[in-house]
Amino acid sequence: MSPRRLAWTGLLLLAALGLGSFALGVLWPTVPARYCPLGHDVLRPDRTVCELSFGGLWVSLGIGLLAGALSTALGLVLATLARLLGGFVERWILRFADAFFSLPDVLILMVLQFAGQTLGDLRPELKLSPVPLMIASLGLVGWAGPTRMLRNRLATLEEQEFVLAARALGGTRAHLFRAHLWPGLKAYVLALFLSRLPAAILAESTVSFFGIARMEPMSLGRYLGTSYSAILYEGGARVVLPAWGLLILIVLGASLAARGVEGASSPGR
């Protein structure tokens, strides 16, 4: 499959999942409530498994999109700063990014959630509701990978002949970035954003599953976390499999789109 087609397949799959789950979870919730073949939830007998799964999917996807955008934006700012300032600043940004990258997302996310919740308890004026707090935490967790990769991409682009020529003709750094580097970088930024999406969704699911983030409306992870006791007694398949399938489809859509966008924008094409 050509990269362009791969990208469109992935993006259409993501759009279908997001819009479909929003429509079934918010606009027409009676449809999954009435026609769900998986029956009612054990702990919430007034709701069906389909309602809770589809209702959780758009929350997870929305959080993933916003958190992915935030971490990619942070990575872009830091990578640009590193290349603009160079030397000591670049070395320390990269060193810190490598150090941060070696810790698991879930661990840092738990610490940040804990910090945010405690701060909110102590200073109500600073309190963030669970969804914005999760987006901010995921954004702060995910900056290291994009920073490292964007800095490397910028360094590669800066060695291209057209950039060297523009620099030799007296182009300022800001001009070089705006006119010559950014056009070659933007598709890569989009690919990075798409590749951050599943990581953010999975990290959110895991932390919500532990009960550390009390997401309202319920995300997929929170739904599975709150159903834990019922799953133990009743058996997990009826509750777990639909949510698992939806997570896999999100990951498949995002990875196809990221690979397609990156392939279509690679310099060798």
Partner 1 sequence: MIRTVLSRVLQKLLLVPIVALASYYLMAVLPVPSDEDSKRQLPAELAASYRKDLGLGEPLGFLRPWTKLFRGERLGTTAQGVTGEEMLQKLSGSVAVGVMGLVLALVWALLLALLRAGGRRPPGLLGDLLPAIAFGTPAFIPALLLAPSVVETGHLLPELSAAFVVSLWPGVLLGTLLTDTLRQEVAKDYVRTAMSKGLSREAAVRRHVLPNLWPALLDSLPPLATALLGGSFAAERVFGLPYFGQLYVSAVLQKQLAVVVVATTVFAALLVAVSVAVEAVRLVVDPRARDRREAA
Residues binding partner 1: what is the number (CB under 8 A)? 47
**Does 42 contact partner 1 by CB under 8 A?**
no
**Does 132 contact partner 1 by CB under 8 A?**
no
Q: Which is nearer to partner 1, 59 or 185 (CB)?
A: 59
Place of tokens 């940040």: 112
- Residue from 91, 95, 72, 74 nearest 82 by CA: 91
Draw the binding track, 190-209, toward partner 1 (x: CB under 8 A; -: no contact).
--------x---x--xx--x
Minimal distance in Å, beta carbon 70 to partner 1? 19
Draw the binding track, 216-235, toward partner 1 (x: CB under 8 A; -: no contact).
-----x--x---x--xxx-x
Q: Binding to partner 1 (CB under 8 A): which residues in 104-123?
A: 104-107, 110-111, 113-115, 118-119, 121-123
Q: Binding to partner 1 (CB under 8 A): which residues in 73-102?
A: 95-96, 99, 102
User: Is the peptide bond prior to 132 cis by the omega test (within 30 degrees of 0)?
Assistant: no
Q: Whole-angstrom Cα distance, residue 45 to residue 234? A: 14
**Does 213 contact partner 1 by CB under 8 A?**
no
**Does 12 contact partner 1 by CB under 8 A?**
no
- A 10 A CB-CB count for 169 gives 7
* Burial of residue 161 (number of CB atoms within 10 Å: 0-12, 13-18, 19+): exposed
19: part of which helix (H) or strand (E)? helix 3-22
